[in-house]
Structure 1
Amino acid sequence: MKQLALFVSISFTLSAFAFNQPTIPLNWTTQYACAVDVPSRILANVVTTQYTDNMPASCIQRCDAAGFSYAGVEYSNECHCGTGLVGTPASAPVSDCNMTCTGDPTLSCGGSWRIQIYKSPALPPGWWGLQGCYLDTPDSPTFGSPIAHHTIDTNLDPINQCVPYCAHIGYPWFGVENGTDCQCSFGLAPGAQLRSQDECTSICPPPPGEGNENCGGFQRMLAYRFRPF
């Protein structure tokens, strides 16, 4: 009978940590399955908010929408948004992140001074270099598998909208076309055709009071590539 009681006790302890795997949206990745947090916080420029529906996916979505590149869940209801890490966090056993999420009790949301950390695909600090003017047609595209992003804010030119958009989602190439269009990609398409710079002279819609800037042309794309500092 004592052996049976011991088996039941052990089984209950193990099952207490048998949480489901969380959904990680927006191409974010798990940076630390469980890490030690400290009173000064291990996320840089951290903003901490308590939510009754807290879970990894909702915390990531909130941090991403606010422009942060790191997210963490802790103490069940805490969502931490930050711009980076302060030093190298100390890893903790996954079993230390044993508190259920307020938004889904089948998921873990850290523990007491234990945090689960997630990172966005956003590019690190760097610069964008012009690669040239390219033909961009259905039969001869500039980019391989581009993500199209049509600009809508008339107070910003396409380049000033395209750079942060592509950088935030982790794409190291962007292009502007026909004065108003922005595309993001991981690289040039096979056989991409470089054309004369004179073919990319459509003027970007400039913000009030600013000068003119070229934004490609009809079926002509000015392509830029990211380089880290």
Structure 2
Amino acid sequence: MKQLALFAVTSFALSASAFNIPVIPLNWTTQYACAVDVPSRVLANVVTTQYTDNTPGSCVLRCDAAGFSYAGVEYSNECHCGTGLVGTPASAPVSDCNMACTGDPNLSCGGSWRIQIYKSPALPPGGWALQGCYLDTTASPAFGSPVVHHTFDTNLDLIDQCVQYCAHIGYPYSGVENATDCQCSFGLNPGAQIRSEDECNSLCPLPPGAGSEFCGGFQRLMVYQFRPN
């Protein structure tokens, strides 16, 4: 909202040095510490919402939950969610992003036509290819560090749930084990030991009428690798 009275805008404006560095959650990264926004907007397919508790972190959480890969804060109370960038935004001096966040006056949330832009680690569009069934024990882990383990509320269509989750957090290797455990990594352990796919024999259900699928096994990880389009 750009039509606030001048005295109200001035009351939010501070020196850039007065602000703390924001904590950005979910491994999102800062793409522009401060950029020039335009009436047609620099974020693609943008959805802009005003919040009384706006901060860079809360905006990122909201955009991530809504499935967007870009987030931006502007004019103190605006959270912008988008799917990408429209061209290459023009950088602006950090001092131009001088408006305090409505959710935390110690943090900056852009300025008048100035936006702070953040990007998700999510992988680009692509597909997943089965790599095989691997031994996975404490002594002989299939994935190299770091490994993210995740458990879903249900193991219905577990493989699809797992690859989507790993893609969302930016990990190009995904694996399911014993029909319950989803693992994400950046690659196989150099000593990973492949096993017969018959050993990945734990079943998990597919949607009604679709049967079931093999989702790894006991100490056996069924591994998939991401391949971009």
- With the length of structure 1 as denominator, give the TM-score of the two structures: 0.88
- Given that 1:203 and 1:215 are in contact with CA atoms closer than 8 Å, whether structure 2 keeps it comes out as yes
Letter in 2 for 1:85: L
Which residue number in structure 2 is paired with residue 39 of structure 1?
A: 39
Deviation at 1:24, TM superposition (A): 1.3
Once residues 85 and 214 of structure 1 are traced to their aligned partners in structure 2, the CA distance between those partners, rounded to angstroms, is 39
Deviation at 1:204, TM superposition (A): 2.3
Letter in 1 for 2:154: D
Deviation at 1:99, TM superposition (A): 1.1
Once residues 69 and 209 of structure 1 are traced to their aligned partners in structure 2, the CA distance between those partners, rounded to angstroms, is 33
- The equivalences for 1:130-209 within 5 A come to 130-145=130-145, 146-154=147-155, 156-209=156-209
SS in 2 for 1:64: helix
Letter in 2 for 1:151: F
Deviation at 1:14, TM superposition (A): 9.0
Q: Which moved more, 1:206-215 or 1:103-112?
A: 206-215
SS in 2 for 1:63: helix
SS in 1 for 2:117: strand
May I ask how many residue pairs the two structures share in their alignment? 216
Once residues 24 and 186 of structure 1 are traced to their aligned partners in structure 2, the CA distance between those partners, rounded to angstroms, is 22
Change (3 A) 1:140 1:161: same
Which residue number in structure 2 is paired with residue 87 of structure 1?
A: 87
Q: Where do 5+ consecutive residues of structure 1 fail to align?
A: 1-12
Which residue number in structure 2 is paired with residue 115 of structure 1?
A: 115
SS in 2 for 1:213: strand
- Given that 1:179 and 1:205 are in contact with CA atoms closer than 8 Å, whether structure 2 keeps it comes out as no
- Given that 2:179 and 2:217 are in contact with CA atoms closer than 8 Å, whether structure 1 keeps it comes out as yes
- Given that 1:17 and 1:98 are in contact with CA atoms closer than 8 Å, whether structure 2 keeps it comes out as no
- Given that 2:15 and 2:98 are in contact with CA atoms closer than 8 Å, whether structure 1 keeps it comes out as no
Structure with higher Rg: it is 1
Once residues 115 and 137 of structure 2 are traced to their aligned partners in structure 1, the CA distance between those partners, rounded to angstroms, is 48
Q: Where do 5+ consecutive residues of structure 2 fail to align?
A: 1-12
Deviation at 1:17, TM superposition (A): 4.6
Q: 1:8-53: CA deviations, max 9, x gaps?
A: xxxxx99465322111111111000111111221111211111111
